[in-house]
Chain A
């Protein structure tokens, strides 16, 4: 943990002391800038009861540039592509150094509750989502059962 900026140490400490409900973020023992994240699928979403693994990396420039976050668990979502990349404005052009690891993870949790097929990253999924939302929700539920219950199904 030596050599990390004090802000990163502070954020890490707070994440451990006051964890966000439904989210766990643990720094890697060999790299304090790399976090192993698990987000619980929000209730009343097709991801309910799933445990989604993510990786979060704080680049050298952090907090001047956004953390890099990616889903490791396969997920059927119009704003998340098959490599686990997330389409979220605060991770790109809307990043601000006043945001924190905590706020980023909360935003991702909110994205699971409110998929936005009009701003897609995964075109196929977004199209299916818009064409037949009921079917898309069913697929999302199936994928949650299939992939978000077992760590072995992580995207490599």
Chain B
């Protein structure tokens, strides 16, 4: 009986096998061990800097501004789908996987290319290109001024 609390998998297995103990097998103790309060799970975690993780509701005002700016700036960076034509960009240095046809990419102003998912995760922590350490926003602002 106690086994059913260990993991959802064991529950599934016992259900598949059919229950020998009658149709309604509910461990009363299981009912009271509720899941953690749902509101905690729904608070997103942000990273004002790479080694800092904080739930959204515990960010300082400065950090909130920083993250809002990053969110805004990321959307101005061009994206594309890997079609195999680029000879330069072959591998994403964040996940160390080769680009595959159809992969979503993001291009930084310094011409470095990453998987969109990989670089967006980093840009939410730091606005510096992982490869050349060039500040992404400075380059972005210069692009605006010259265009």
On whether the beta carbons of B50 and A95 are closer than 8 Å, the reply is yes
On whether the beta carbons of A64 and B49 are closer than 8 Å, the reply is no
Can you name 23 A-B residue pairings with CB atoms under 8 Å? A6-B95, A6-B96, A6-B97, A10-B96, A11-B96, A61-B53, A64-B50, A64-B121, A64-B122, A65-B50, A66-B51, A93-B49, A93-B50, A95-B50, A96-B130, A97-B93, A97-B94, A97-B118, A97-B122, A97-B130, A98-B93, A98-B94, A99-B130
Which chain B residues in 115-141 approach chain A with CB under 8 Å?
118, 121-122, 125-126, 128, 130-131, 133
Which partner residue on chain B sits nearest A92 by CB separation?
B51
Q: In the bound complex, how far is the Cα of B30 from the Cα of A73, in angstroms?
A: 48
Q: B95: which A residues are within 8 A, CB to CB?
A: 5-7
- Most A CB atoms within 10 A — which of B95, B96, B118, B131? B96
Our pick among B51, B94, B96, B131 for the contact of A95 (Cβ within 8 Å) is B51
Q: In the bound complex, how far is the Cα of B50 from the Cα of A86, in angstroms?
A: 18
The verdict on B106 contacting chain A, using a C-beta distance below 8 Å, is: no
Q: In the bound complex, how far is the Cα of B122 from the Cα of A65, in angstroms?
A: 9
Which partner residue on chain B sits nearest A94 by CB separation?
B133
Shortest A30–chain B CB gap in Å is: 21
Interface residue count on the B side (C-beta < 8 Å): 19
Q: Mark A1-24, 1 if CB is under 8 A from B, else 0.
A: 000011100110000000000000
Our pick among B47, B97, B131, B133 for the contact of A64 (Cβ within 8 Å) is B47
Q: In the bound complex, how far is the Cα of B122 from the Cα of A66, in angstroms?
A: 12
Q: In the bound complex, how far is the Cα of B94 from the Cα of A10, in angstroms?
A: 12
Which chain B residues in 78-116 approach chain A with CB under 8 Å?
93-97
By secondary structure, the B interface counts as: loop
Interface size, A (range):
10 to 19
- B residues with a Cβ closer than 8 A to A are 47, 49-51, 53, 93-97, 118, 121-122, 125-126, 128, 130-131, 133
- A residues with a Cβ closer than 8 A to B are 5-7, 10-11, 61, 63-66, 92-99
Q: B96: which A residues are within 8 A, CB to CB?
A: 6-7, 10-11
Shortest A107–chain B CB gap in Å is: 14
On whether the beta carbons of B125 and A64 are closer than 8 Å, the reply is yes
Q: B130: which A residues are within 8 A, CB to CB?
A: 96-99
